[in-house]
Amino acid sequence: MECIITGNLTMVPAMVNDLPELEEIEKECDAYFRFDPPDAAGHNRSLRDCIAIGDIIPGVSQESYIQRNYHLFCIRKDDTLVGWISFYLEYQHKDSVYLSVLYIKERYRSSGIGTKIIDALIRELAAAQFKIIRLHCSLRNVTALWFWVKNGFDRIISVECNGNLYPKNYGGIGLMKVIS
């Protein structure tokens, strides 16, 4: 996938020269990692490594798979970087995609950007014969859960929880959308 354009939004593959802007967004994004257990991000690589060689899929160690199937895109509104999205193609099955991150800067939320990006990505994936998109969301991140369900990710494929969601307990839900 090279470039996806929808209205005044563009998704382009992230490049090393995008790092300063991406790292600024990552600082804002760090607050959302409080939804996950402290060791949950242990498999993730730095943004620089994600751009250069891809991220690590839990349970998959083949570097060639990661390089070929991992995609990190900058999301720009006109010329302003407003977020990023990353995903794995052929995740577990040839026709399946795993959406690992969609992050939109707070000041651009509730403007329809996330929905437009997901709609455009789904059109591209459908054209490439993908049938399923999966993702994982913290049970504590109610705003994200609402967003995903509103955008058609309404099939629950997994629920992980280490007890009731008290302050030191965590939980997540796997959601899926079938692409028509």
Task: Report pLDDT for 50.
Answer: 74
Structure tokens at 28: 């804002």
Looking at residue 47, its pLDDT comes to: 74
Please tell me the pTM assigned to this model.
0.84
Please report, for the chain, the start and end positions of each structural domain, with discontinuous segments joined by +.
Answer: 4-130
More confident residue, 28 or 8: 8
Predicted pLDDT at 65: 47
* Four-point Cα dihedral 39, 41, 42, 43, nearest 10: 140
Q: Is the pLDDT of residue 179 over 70?
A: yes
CATH class, 4-130 region: alpha beta
Contact 41, 33 (CB under 8 A): yes
Per-residue pLDDT tens digits for 63-98: 544 556 889 999 999 989 999 999 999 888 899 999
Q: Is the pLDDT of residue 52 over 90?
A: no
pLDDT, one tens digit per residue, over 89-129 is 988 889 999 998 899 998 998 899 999 999 999 999 999 99
pLDDT-derived band at 176 (thresholds 50, 70, 90) equals very high
Highest mean pLDDT among 64-68, 104-108, 138-142, 161-165: 104-108
pLDDT at 62: 55
| SS3 of the chain: helix, strand, coil, percent, to 5 | 35, 30, 35
Q: What pLDDT was estimated at residue 75? A: 96
Give the pLDDT score at 125: 95
Residues with Cβ < 8 Å from 88, sequence gap 6 or more? 57, 69, 70, 71, 97, 98, 100
